[in-house]
Each structure stands twice: as C-alpha cells, then as structure tokens.
Amino acid sequence: MKKFVFLFISIVLLGVSAYFAFVYYVPFSEGYRSGELIKFSRKGVLVKTWEGEISQGISGAQIFQFSVQDNKKEVIEKLKEYQGQYVKVTYQERYTTFFWWGDTKHFITEVVKETSPHFRK
C-alpha cells in the first residue's frame, strides 16, 4: 500500500511539474505589434501584475492587451517612459496564464519607440 501511495504521489507531482514547465517554456506564438501605448498600470488585489493596452488604429478601433512579467525591469521602465507614444513591442503568446503572471496570455519581451505612421512628415 505504501508503495502505491508513493508511486501515485510521484506521478501526480511529475505531471504537475511537466504542465508548469510546458506552460512556462513553450510559447504558442511569437510576434510583433505596434500602436499607441494608451494604458500601462500595475493592478491586482493579492498579486500585483503589470498590464497594458496598445491602440492599433484610429480612435482605438482595435486594442491589443498585454502583460509584463516582474522580471522584465527594463521593459517596464521603457513602457512607463513611452506612455502615450507610438511603440513597437515583441511578445510571446502562451497557451494559458496563471493569476500571478498577468491577466492576458500575451507577454511583452521587448519594446522600442517608433514614429507614428499617421503623422509622418
């Protein structure tokens, strides 16, 4: 009986570990988005996460919502600085998320300031 309980607990722990590793290390997709950074804030009740929105179009016709993990300090500082400006972001989309990571499945890994195509000279 002890051997069965030990084997069962080991299999469950291995399965949970494999699930977390898969969700964390295997992205569903990777890509780029650009638009006006209209929102970036730290929110949450028990766990604070960085959340933002990019407007992709005139008058907010299409909104791209994203999260930033706490270990991306440089990205967080750049997004704070670029608030209200046109930016290009590199992101990873994950299969799912956990409440301590963020509200969305899109996680920003890099951000650069761009010139807006609407106001080119």
Residue-range domains of the chain with CATH: 27-119 (2.40.50.140)
Tokens of 65: 């919502």
Residues 6+ apart with CB under 8 A from 52: 37, 39, 40, 41, 65, 66, 67, 68, 79, 108
**Distance separating alpha carbons of residues 102 and 105, to the nearest angstrom:** 8
Q: 16-73: per-residue pLDDT in tens?
A: 999 888 887 888 889 999 989 999 999 888 888 999 999 887 766 789 999 998 888 9
The pLDDT mean for the chain works out to 87
Q: Which phi-psi region, left, alpha or beta, contains residue 104 (left: φ > 0; alpha: ψ -120 to 50)?
A: beta
- Confidence grade of residue 13 (pLDDT, cut at 50, 70, 90): very high
CB 112 within 8 A of CB 52: no
pTM exceeds cut of 0.75: yes
Q: What is the mean pLDDT of residues 86-103?
A: 86
Question: What residues contact residue 38 under an 8 Å CB cut-off, 6+ apart?
Answer: 53, 54, 55, 60, 63, 84
In one-letter notation, the amino acid at residue 82 is Y
